[in-house]
Amino acid sequence: MAQQTPPSGTFTGQFRYLHRHASNVPFDTVKANLTIKFGTPANTYAVTGDTSTVHAGSKGTFSVGSPYMVFADSTFSTTATTTKTHLAGAYIYYYDGTVFQLLAYSADTLSLQYDLRRAQ
């Protein structure tokens, strides 16, 4: 059973960006290895790792309201053209003390998936 407490500490794993074009049945999948550090000060996060092409390095605050985590990325601009994914907005989450997963999707054409584990 998933914990209702927010994650803390460092988590590493894979981010997947799955996109399906209207004229193309299979999803295009792009992956990146990321690290998300939760914690100091409380309810803050920072994303590092492979942030060169698909996912942006980012940081900000978060809140938990099961089954959602909501991220407020202080590096995300709503006015600038964004080419990389930022950890921002509402995600369905799962956390069991070791495994931490996030999922966001838009209709049937886009899925953002974070599949992470607590770093040893």
pLDDT given at position 1: 45
Phi-psi region of 60 (alpha: psi -120 to 50; beta: other; left: phi over 0): left
Of 59, 57, 55, 12, give the one whose Cα is nearest residue 31. Answer: 55
pLDDT given at position 50: 93
CA 2 to CA 48: how far, in whole Å? 25
Alpha helices in the chain (DSSP H): none
Quickly count: other Cβ atoms within 10 Å of residue 114's Cβ.
21
Domains of the chain: 9-118 (2.40.160)
Quickly count: other Cβ atoms within 10 Å of residue 104's Cβ.
19
pLDDT digits (tens, 9 = 90+) for 75-101: 987 776 777 899 999 999 999 999 999
pLDDT given at position 60: 96
Quickly count: other Cβ atoms within 10 Å of residue 64's Cβ.
15
- Is the pLDDT confidence value at 112 over 70? yes
pLDDT given at position 23: 67
Structure tokens at 20: 């399906």
